[in-house]
Each structure stands twice: as C-alpha cells, then as structure tokens.
Structure 1
Amino acid sequence: MNVTNPYAQAGWAGSNGTTPLPSLFGALPFPSQPPESSIHRFKFTSFNPDILNCVLYGPQSHAYFRVLNNTPSQNFTMFQNREGKSIAVIEWRQSPGAVVEIRDIIRKQLVSSWLPLSSDRTYRFMKARDRTFVWVPQNQYVGLYTYGTTNPELYAKLSRTEGCVTLEISSVAIQIGLFECCVVAVVLLQSGRSID
C-alpha cells in the first residue's frame, strides 16, 4: 500500500500518472490538455512545365486542386477543385500588375494589394478573412505567421525541393478558412513571374 498517495489508498488507478485521476466530484470530467494543432501536408507536383500547370495532392495522395495555365489565353491561371469547378483565378497583366480573385474569399484585386511587400522588401503581408498575416522567408522555408501579435503563430510553411513544392498547413489555419488563400499564394510566390 502506498501511504503517500491518498488515491492509491482508495484503490483508484492512475496513481502513477499513466491514467488520469478521477475528477474531484466524480461527475465532472477530468481536465485535459487541448490537442495540439495537427499539420496537413500538400504537394504541388506534375509540373507541366512549372507550378502554373500542376496538381495539388494532399493526405492519402488525393488530388485536391488542379492549377491550369493552358487555358485558351495564356494570360490566366485557373484553380479547379476536385469537381472541376473554378475556385480562383490569376490574370497575368503587364500593367498595372497581376490580378487575383478567390471565390467567396478574396474579391478581384491586384496581387500587390493582396500580397503587398513590406517597406524593407523582406516579407509579404497577406490579407484574408478580415485578418492580416505575413509570409516570412526562413532558412529552409517561407512561413505564414499571424501579424500584430506579441507571439506570432506559425500557420503554414512553403518549401521547395527538386520537382515539388510543399505546403504544410495547420488545422487551425484550415478551420479559419486560409487553405485556398495559401494555395493561391504559394503558386504566386513560386511562379517565377512578376506579381507586383
């Protein structure tokens, strides 16, 4: 018998920390830590010849979006969901610059307004869902962070390897509706074209 642990004396399991102890009043659930945000990995692959013609694959290798630049006019890049419906479009203009629209999220506007460069030209802002975020280059990736907070939270990562661009996005970012915005931003940032 363990005389230093009153729970063990009463015969309750969990006295060694492996099982949660019962709540104080029996009927109330025992408090637990909230689960950490999980990360979802998506890969832009099947470049033909670049990210402006590719397929976005997600968990279990399911195709989520097709990015198509081989439309009748090469001045447009379309984003289609699994059902073939257009969810976003980029119009490549010389002047005043590229235009972007994401259905029901981002109204048609200049990319330079949606993803403006910082004054020191080291990162880009992204305005979505009535909030502002920042894409900041790091050593091996570009991270999407919350903006205007004392402890910026990392919501997504963009990285590139030979023949593949990877987007890692948190479940929190997906829940607040940033998935489509991140997909379009990744294509813009990796397009190799002038977006300002």
Structure 2
Amino acid sequence: MAFPNLYTHRKVAETKARSCDICFKLSSSVLITPDNKDWFYVCPAHLKDPLFCTPKIDQAAIEARKKLELEAEIERVKKEYEEKQRKKKEKQEEGEKKEDAAEDKKDKDNKPGEDSQKTLDKKEAGKDDATPSPVEEEEPRVFELKNIFYQQRINKKRQAEIARRNRERMQDPTFFPSVPKNLPS
C-alpha cells in the first residue's frame, strides 16, 4: 500500500490542466511516484517552497553538466586564441603591405577605405561566431515531500482504498442480512 516518498515532476498539456491539490489553481505540473501508484497536480511555485518539498539532486547529472560546460568553455577559449592569432597574422601582413604600398604609392593610387571596410566586416563576423550560447539552468525533476504532506498523501490513498472496498461490499448480495423465514413464536 505504501509508496516511496520520491516524486518526479512532469508537465502535461495545457488542455489537460487540473486544479492544484494545495491551492486549487489550474496547473499543468504533475508529481508522480516512480511506480505510478500516486500522482497529483501541483503548481510549479509549490515545488520551490522548502516547506512543501525538497529537490533530490542527481550527482551524476550534475557532474555530466559541469563536464559539458567545461568542454564548451575550453572550445570557446580555443576559438578566441585562434582569432587572436589570426588577427596578429593579419596585422603583420598589413604592415608588410603598408611598406610595399608606401613604395608603390608613388606609382598608383591606393584605396584604403575599401580595405578598412573589409577588416570591419571580418571583425563583426568574428564577434558573432565567438558569442557562446547561454546554458539553461535545469530545474530539479525529482522531489521528496515533507512528512506532513507525505502522510496526507498516504491517508488519502488509504481512504480511497477503504471507500473502494466498501463499494464492492455493497454490490455483494450477501453483505446485507436476509429476511427471517421462520415465524416468530
């Protein structure tokens, strides 16, 4: 009859929303036990309330997320380094071109406006590529109810089971006593 005090948070469609068991507002969030013996609708605000439930943190998931973030950071730093090296190389090439241009300036006109525009476009394109995508914080999915609320859930399930048994007994024709067949003496 008893079920574990571990509930998984799940979302249902907005059309399937029902009233929260705590505050009776419409909610599409459901807390459900792993064996599907107990479930109830609850507002997401209640999940953040430390007096209602506490999140169970999965250490393996946290380690995996940290590792993923670290790899993303390493990749971002590598890209920045490569960009700096490329810019440094471009500056050296521009310096060489300027020396050559100074010598050739006497012979023909140079259009520096077009070159500066091209370098600005390259810098803007580099900035767009270098921006890291924001990592979304995941909300905890597994919760443990506080003892008061957990006992309320157990009592509610127990009462529902008793009511079900009583309904079954009422359907049984042998439940009620039969009419006496002998005449009284």
TM normalised by structure 2 equals 0.21
Q: Which has the higher contact order (CA 8 A, sep 6+)?
A: 2
From the two aligned structures, give the one with the greater strand fraction. 1
TM normalised by structure 1 equals 0.20
